[in-house]
Amino acid sequence: MALFHGSHPATTPVHRPAGRWGRLTVRPSGSGVNTRSVLAAYRAHLGHRLRTVGRERLGRRRTVLGAPLLVIALVVASCGGGGGRDTLKGKREVAIAFVGAKTGANQTFGLNFRDGARLAIEDENQGSGDLTVRLREFDTAGEVTQARAVSSQFIGDRSVVGVVGPPFTGETNGLVRDLQQAGLVMIGASAVDKDLPSAPASRTVYHRIVADLDIQASGIAEYLSSIERATSVAYVHDGSDYGKQLAVNTEMQTARRGVRTATMEAIDPRSSDLSAAVNTIRVSGADTVFYGGLFTEAALLQRKLTEQGANVRLVSGEGALDPSLVDATRAGISQAVSTQGVRLACACNLPLESSTGALREFFNEYRQKMGREPGPYSAEGYDAAKILIRGIKAGGENREALLRFVEEQLGRYEGISKSIEFEPDGTLKARTFVVYEVRSGRITELRTLTLGSSTGTTTTTGAGSTTSTTRRPPTTRRPTTSTTLPTTSTTETTTDTPTTPP
């Protein structure tokens, strides 16, 4: 929009004399209206006109000027004003909320997930359609209290029709009841506590696209016993809910497969002194160490084991799957550390430079646009946003319709990270996870395992993005309380290296 001497290139200002004060003609343009610019330009015009008349006309002028100002207010109001349809462009606009940690100690996983979703939305908005999807970000710092503090901002914003995240179990537990009451569908990844789907508050809105910790523990146990062929395993965890639960569950599952438990140790992640745990491991007779915790302590543990001459293989889970593991400086460790041969298991699909197909294309685009390599859950964040976008384009431009799409109409979605199909309780049907190895200073994919389940065994790859005709149960689903674990497994072998400890 231009007003007299406005500078908008898409319009031609028109000024037709009409008596002493002139006539204001406003023509809409193809872009948005800057209200401040409009009013500033009109005030400048008024100043010019005021200098041309005498003070004796001031009283009448105040009366006359009300009409043009009213016209401007009405035009600006019709051109602006929040979400929904842009009346000038004919564009529809809806929003997806990212809810998760952008700051704090565990921001890495939140930022990975957010940036994957951001890339999916950018890709969608590059098209020529009449739909614009916005990503609105709400920082929880990974804390329950902060998640609750910001919840009213996205729950109360009716333009937000779906949520990607939250990444962590605690904040998800703190929000899911309010999300359910608001009918706001969520798709998360790394909140993998097995009890989340069985909470009554999460009856229909809760969905996640990775396996829970019990299933991950079962997969790691299968790897340790059948692939790694460990005979004695020492378990170490950082005392956190995630780390302890993963270590304890993995120990139980591995012991059932006949592998000896050498020891179970807890470390303080705030301390660099791991001597007690390392000494216990050295004399325990363990040939393998499993660590439940994050990458910083995993790198420190590996260094201490190497320094003490412990001839063991270090295996860890998704929390340690980060490029920082092989970068001693970024991990906060002053001395160089060799992580050669460390094995990392994750239900996520980490895009790597060595990846192929759609996952490699995602790796290249992510690195180019984000300025860094994707991390754990970057690809899952992309897929979560793409599922919501698919539902929005299918008519789910309000919360009720989008929830109904995810619950009843999605079927099976072939994402870049995996084949995604939800169980009635919102968990993932696929039981696939990937084992990675640190080799020559880089994380490389070693092996993909698919656990058998009641739904059968499935091998998945990240090819295109299609949807099957399979339909989910209606939105009256009830939470699944069974924790039965898969009992069979198959393996898909890629390149492997000898299983003897480094």
Binned at pLDDT 50, 70 and 90, residue 343 comes out as very high
- Given this model, what pLDDT does residue 153 score? 97
Coil vs helix vs strand at 442? strand
- Distance in angstroms between the alpha carbons of the first and the last residue of the chain: 69
For residue 456, is pLDDT > 60?
A: no
How many C-beta atoms surround the C-beta of residue 245 within 10 A?
19
Max mean pLDDT range (202-206, 210-214, 266-270): 266-270
* pLDDT band, very low/low/confident/very high, at 331 (cuts 50, 70, 90): low
Contact between 111 and 139 (Cβ < 8 Å): no
* Helix or strand run (H / E) with residue 364: helix 357-370
The domains of the chain are located at 14-79, 92-210+353-419, 214-346
The three-class DSSP label of residue 383 is: helix
pLDDT at position 450 = 83
Q: Does domain 92-210+353-419 have CATH number 3.40.50.2300?
A: yes
pLDDT bracket for residue 203 (50, 70, 90): confident
What is the model's pLDDT at position 72?
Answer: 43
Q: How confident is the model at residue 326 (pLDDT cuts 50, 70, 90)?
A: confident
pLDDT of residue 312: 94
496 pLDDT higher than 90? no
CA nearest neighbour of 432 among 447, 444, 443: 447
Same fold, 92-210+353-419 and 214-346: yes
Instruction: Give the count of beta carbons closer than 10 Å to the beta carbon of residue 500.
Output: 10
What does pLDDT average to over the chain? Answer: 77
| Between residues 252 and 29, the one the model is more confident about | 252
Q: Which residues contact 364 (CB under 8 A, 6 or more apart)?
A: none
Please give the pLDDT value at position 27: 41
User: Model's pTM, two decimal places?
Assistant: 0.73
370-407: per-residue pLDDT in tens?
Answer: 999 999 999 999 999 999 999 999 999 999 999 999 99
Task: With CA atoms as reference, report the closest residue to 187 among 170, 204, 209, 161.
Answer: 209
Would you identify the CATH topology of the domain 214-346?
A: Rossmann fold (3.40.50)
The rounded radius of gyration (Å) of the Cα atoms in the chain is: 29
Amino acid making up residue 74: L
CB 279 within 8 A of CB 254: no
Residue linked to tokens 């492997």: 496
Lookup result for tokens 């919102």: 426
pLDDT, tens digit, for every residue of 78-122?
A: 343 334 444 345 678 999 999 999 998 878 889 999 999 999 999
